[in-house]
Amino acid sequence: MSEPVYRRVLIKISGEALSGSKGTGFDFGFVTEVCETVKRCTEIGVQVAIVIGGGNFWRGVKDGAGKVERVSADKMGMLATAMNCLAVADVFKQTGVDARVLTAIDIQGVGERHDARRAIEYLEAGKVVLFACGTSQPFFSTDTGAVLRAAEIHADAILLAKNIDGVYSDDPKKNPSAFRFDEISYSEVLERRLAVMDSTATSLAMDNDLPVIVFALAEPENILRVLQGEKVGTTVK
């Protein structure tokens, strides 16, 4: 097995990806596959932190249907990410990986309060760290939370595991002429308004010179391929 090209990474996983074809809740067969792949990453010496979205339970304002105010909707989304982190942490433990949940807001008995120095200590000790509750502030997405945490722990790269296999010039489901980029700059992503991450997250990644590799999580093995330097998906830098 080749040497990893990154030593410390943050993986951003959408909540919807955890639910498989069901759309809500968990597909534990798939979650186990992801955790076993991440375990292999730690076995080759890669330090792994993870941020998980909450879309398999709650999609903020969209699910609020005009009845839930934005601040409340975002707080509910933060709680959804904590639920996901707890579930995935337990699956990690069943695969023999020590995983720790750090929460951006105080939730007694759910996880430890986020502290970047403690997170780095856990990573250096070979533990997987799951960051819950985004940035702790409304109006910021879990994408922005992922870039913020990646910057705090001095990650080498962000692995953006999505339901699509890279960054396209347009929505490939609507436009058959859309093409996938192998590599693209942050500024071009912003100029083209491409749906990689929200603009705040993209700008934060650019300001901190954090490369973002976008790929499909449908094949969890892609995580390992990226770490071994294979050309998978799209690199934003």
Q: Which amino acid is at 186?
A: Y
Q: Answer whether residue 38 is part of any domain.
A: yes
Closest CA to 59 of 77, 44, 40, 37: 77
Look at residue 1 in the predicted model and tell me its pLDDT. Answer: 60
- Domain range for 55: 8-236
In a domain, 69, yes or no: yes
Give the total number of structural domains in the chain: 1
Q: Residue 168, SS3?
A: strand
Report the C-alpha gap between 145 and 177 in whole angstroms.
33
Domain membership of residue 1 (yes or no) is: no
For residue 171, what pLDDT is reported? 85
Answer whether residue 3 is part of any domain. no
Q: What is the CATH number of the domain that holds 172?
A: 3.40.1160.10
Could you tell me if residue 197 is inside a domain?
yes
Q: How far is CA 144 from the centre of its chain?
A: 10
In a domain, 2, yes or no: no
- What's the rounded Cα separation, in Å, for the pair 85 and 112? 12
- In this prediction, residue 176 carries a pLDDT of 87
Domain-located, residue 167? yes
CB-based burial of residue 204 (10 Å sphere; 0-12 exposed, 13-18 middle, 19+ buried)?
buried
Q: Provide the pLDDT for residue 21.
A: 79
108 part of a folded domain:
yes
Give the pLDDT score at 226. Answer: 95
Spell out, as residue ranges, where the chain has pLDDT lower than 70: 1, 60-61
Residue burial 88-116, b: 16+ Cβ < 10 Å; e: rest: bbebbeeeebebbbbbbbebeebbeebee
What are the pLDDT digits (tens) for 146-166? Answer: 999 999 999 999 999 988 888
Digit-coded pLDDT (tens) for 82-113 = 999 999 999 999 999 999 999 999 998 889 99
- Write the CB contacts of 55 (distance below 8 Å, at least 6 apart in sequence): 14, 15, 16, 80
C-alpha distances (whole Å) from 72 to each of 28, 75, 79, 174, 216 are 29, 5, 11, 33, 31
